[in-house]
Amino acid sequence: MNNMAAFLKPTSVAVIGASNNPHRLGYVVVSNLLAGCFNGPIIPVTPKYTAVAGILAYSHIETMPIIPDIAIVCTHAALTPEIINQLGRKGVKAVIVIAAGMSPSAHHKETINHQQQMLANAKHYNMRIIGPNSMGIILPWLNLNASVAPTHANKGNIAFISQSASICTTILDWAQNKHIGFSTFISLGDACDINFAELLDILSQDTKTEAILLYIDNIKDARQFMSAARAAARNRRILVLKSGRTSVGRSAALLSPNDTLGIDVVYDAAIRRSGMLRVHTTHDLFAAVETLAHSVPLRGERLAILTNGGGPAIMALDTLSDCGGKLAQLSTNTMAKLSLVLPAYWSQTNPIDIMGDANPARYQQVMNILLDSDDFDALLIMHSPSAIAHSSHTANVIIDTLHQHSRSQRFNILTNWSGENDAVNARTLFTQARLPTYRTPESAISAFMHLVEYRRNQRQLMETPQSIGEVTADPHYVRHEIQRLLQQNIHHLETHEIRPLLESYGFTTLPTWIASDAAEAVHIAEQIGYPVAVKLRSPDIRHKSDIHGVVLYLRDANEVANAADAILSRVALHYPSARIDGLLIQRMANRSGAQELRIGVYNDPIFGPVITLGEETIDWNIERDAVVALPPLNMALARYMVINALKRNKIKQRGSLEKISLPALCQFLVTISQMIIDCPDINALDIHPLLISGDELTIIDASMDITTFNGDIQQRLAIRPYPKEYEQQCQLKDGKSILLRPILPEDEPTHKAFISQVSEDDLYKRFFSDVGELNHEALAKFTQIDYDREMAFVAVYDEMIIGVARALSDANNADAEFAILVRSDLKGIGLGGILMLKLIDYAKQRGLETLTGITMPTNRGMITLAQKMGFEIDVQLADGIVDMRLRLK
């Protein structure tokens, strides 16, 4: 994978700038390599010493006896570009750069850009770089510690990737204390070359890695990151700690003057959309790591709490309620069994308070009853210091009970042993038994909610959306009108100018007229009928509220004239040089029972266009008042957006107002999403307010910023939308007309029906195993694809899928694996050939070098078709496979 394998499976390491001085980085790296017992050649390179740490050193790079898989560069920043040149000439393809300060900082822009020189030299030799400002890498399963870390890493199943070296050392130190190990530990530093996306692609396929942790300062390529993250999150549990939640923090996280600031709520939306879990503090990260390291996947959200103290349990309940968690309801049968072993005065509910006089035996009895039931999905076992139930002894009883009970693996078990002294030993016992343990009730609940949030994000990633059909739209008209306005050097549009554009997408707007003065305003009001609203129109005053430029519920000519004169007077007084383009006159909408929402489109510098949703407020602030989602939206994603807004009180369902229609609002958001996808020149859109009453949605006011967009229309979005340009009408040999198009998430039911009409033999030839009935998760992976790295074309006839062709590209966009499946009763009518030609055409447009596939020797139809299309055929009878390869370049 473009030299990436050398970083994760090295057999030899060179240390450039090795040293015998304990205060030099070159000394620390060599010492760590030796202490880790790396089983390959370690090659120190330094002109100062004959040997380093007892290992023969080489004075120059060209004198190294072999070409190492990795070179660790420990020299000064200014020397690094030339060292990269020398390593390139030697043939080294993977380099880790420890030096900091290689590029101009945001505060010292005059500094020489050594990083740029280094990258140019590396590119010349097809070399890949981790760093600069990297702590190095640790690969515990290879006994490789090629880092300047003060602590080693134990073997485990968690991969950690960080842009911060100090966070790396903090995590390592904590993990040592908790006996948590790692499969891979990588310090990206400034990530000038190798980034999160490439590592996610590799680690999501690594058999030693079960979970991945990311510490992120910033993302440079949103499309690449989102594509890799969405793919990886389907295979591995991924946690993200993102710094820069505030504007001050974001400014401090800038690595160079060329970096851009993204808004934190947008990062939040991107992480959630990818199916990952975000934590906000290092404390939360530690708790989440401990939970993920020792937990089975959460099967549901119902939590049962077993405690020997009522107070701590109430604290746990408060935290659970604040976080939107769900308390399990105990069945009548379970309650009856518990009453047989507990005092008559026990709590009779969940939390199950077994009282302060509970001994270890009572804990054991209650646990067995609970584990025999199906009343809950996760169990939090709490213990407060007790003279009757000693902390460590009770912990051992709990551990033994869980190990002996056959159903314990069905549930997520968390423990909270409060206190210090004896409780510390008890928590150590739980850690050694691979049971997550926490010091406080709040941290235990927080950890449980990490599991819940992760599960919700995963379900969102896999949910099948309902189809809303074709969006009623005329994108050609909108694009033409925007171009006409841009040619007139108009870049900001107000309500009356946007109205025809919005209506062309099926939105309901409030009719708007323009008046030049008070007299004309009165004349218009008389024509359209009272009550009316009068609003200022000025390109120089973007916020009308600044001068009370909006007056509502005017009921006669007098009120209209007075309001118009007052608005114009205030402008003359406070903004004498402002341009006034007139007054907007609108008939008042019926606001009885209606709610005012604010929906917008914001162009984030990192993730591109995003959609915002909240309530109309005077001092609107996107970070405080809105939830954010990345387009493209479908009905499922829009529903999550609205529910998120309701849960976080960005939208409030008021009892006095008519209840918001969730489907209507979701459809509105999906249509906004489609408009943004269709019209790249829309830079910003602000609908303020949107009046919503039940399923009636009316746009009262709106503004739009337009800018000529140059470049790839689809590339501006962080997630590639449905590629409509690939739709194609075709004709089969029997005369049937079919539609070839990319697959959609909404295709899950029809795709399932298609699979049911493929014979077991054909399915075996396609999947090399017995398939059986595919569940929702499997079907979601087939239908909810990332068009940026994968393509699936479906052949549709009479609203039925009759054939599917797939191509999955590698990370370097060089090779794609293909597969074709046709309904078993429709062979011989040319469908396979049509699908193959479609794949070849797609591969060529994408710029791929080869198209490869594997089938069985018995699949004569597929082999014959491939030969006819020019594929090279390699029959490997010993392995029972046939390789098919088409060279496109």
Predicted confidence (pLDDT) per residue in 137-192, tens digit: 999 999 999 999 999 999 999 999 999 988 999 899 888 887 889 999 999 999 99
What is the per-residue pLDDT across 652-663, written as a single tens digit (0 to 9) for each? 877 656 788 899
**Is the pLDDT at 201 greater than 80, yes or no?**
yes
Domain(s) labelled CATH 3.40.50.720 in the chain stretch across 1-140
**Is the pLDDT at 526 greater than 50, yes or no?**
yes
Query: For the chain, what is the mean pLDDT?
Result: 90
Position 247 confidence tier, pLDDT thresholds 50, 70, 90: low
What is the per-residue pLDDT across 5-61, written as a single tens digit (0 to 9) for each? 789 999 999 999 999 999 999 999 999 999 999 999 999 999 999 999 999 999 999
Residue 1's pLDDT is: 40
What is the per-residue pLDDT across 320-371, written as a single tens digit (0 to 9) for each? 998 889 999 999 999 999 999 999 888 899 999 999 889 999 999 999 999 9
Residue type for position 744: L
Residue 244's pLDDT is: 67
Domain(s) labelled CATH 3.40.630.30 in the chain stretch across 726-887
Percent of the chain topping pLDDT 70: 95
- Is residue 264 a contact partner of residue 244, using CB atoms and an 8 Å limit? yes
Residue 60's pLDDT is: 96
Say if residue 742 is preceded by a cis peptide, omega within 30 of 0: no
Superfamily of domain 465-510+589-721, CATH level 4 = ATP-grasp fold, B domain (3.30.470.20)
The Cα 229–Cα 771 span in angstroms is 27
Residue 258's pLDDT is: 52
**Is the pLDDT at 136 greater than 90, yes or no?**
yes
**Is the pLDDT at 259 greater than 70, yes or no?**
no
Superfamily of domain 1-140, CATH level 4 = NAD(P)-binding Rossmann-like Domain (3.40.50.720)
The region of weakest confidence among 290-304, 421-435, 733-747 is 290-304
What's the number of CA atoms in the CB half-sphere (13 Å) around residue 320? 23
Q: Regarding predicted confidence, which is higher, 791 or 243?
A: 791
According to CATH, what is the number of the domain 517-584?
3.30.1490.20
Which uninterrupted H or E stretch holds 313? helix 310-322
Percent of the chain topping pLDDT 90: 66
**Is the pLDDT at 831 greater than 90, yes or no?**
yes
Residue 246's pLDDT is: 58
| Secondary-structure class of domain 298-462 per CATH | alpha beta
Place of tokens 């591109």: 608
Angle at 742 between CA 602 and CA 200, to 5 degrees: 65
Please compute the mean of the pLDDT values over residues 771-790 and round it to a whole number. 87
Look at the pTM and tell me if it is higher than 0.85.
yes
**Is the pLDDT at 248 greater than 70, yes or no?**
no
**Is the pLDDT at 783 greater than 60, yes or no?**
yes
Place of tokens 């946690």: 239
Q: Regarding predicted confidence, which is higher, 848 or 468?
A: 848
Domain(s) labelled CATH 3.40.50.261 in the chain stretch across 149-294, 298-462
Say if residue 385 is preceded by a cis peptide, omega within 30 of 0: no
Count the neighbouring beta carbons within 10 Å of the beta carbon of residue 136: 29
Q: How far is CA 739 from CA 733, 783, 836, in A?
A: 14, 17, 15
DSSP alpha helix (H) spans, 342-390: 360-371
Q: What is the largest CA-CA distance in the chain?
A: 98
Superfamily of domain 726-887, CATH level 4 = Gcn5-related N-acetyltransferase (GNAT) (3.40.630.30)
Which of 240, 231, 265 is CA-nearest to residue 250? 265
Please compute the mean of the pLDDT values over residues 278-295 and round it to a whole number. 78
What is the fold of 149-294?
A: Rossmann fold (3.40.50)
Residue 175's pLDDT is: 87
Domain(s) labelled CATH 3.30.1490.20 in the chain stretch across 517-584
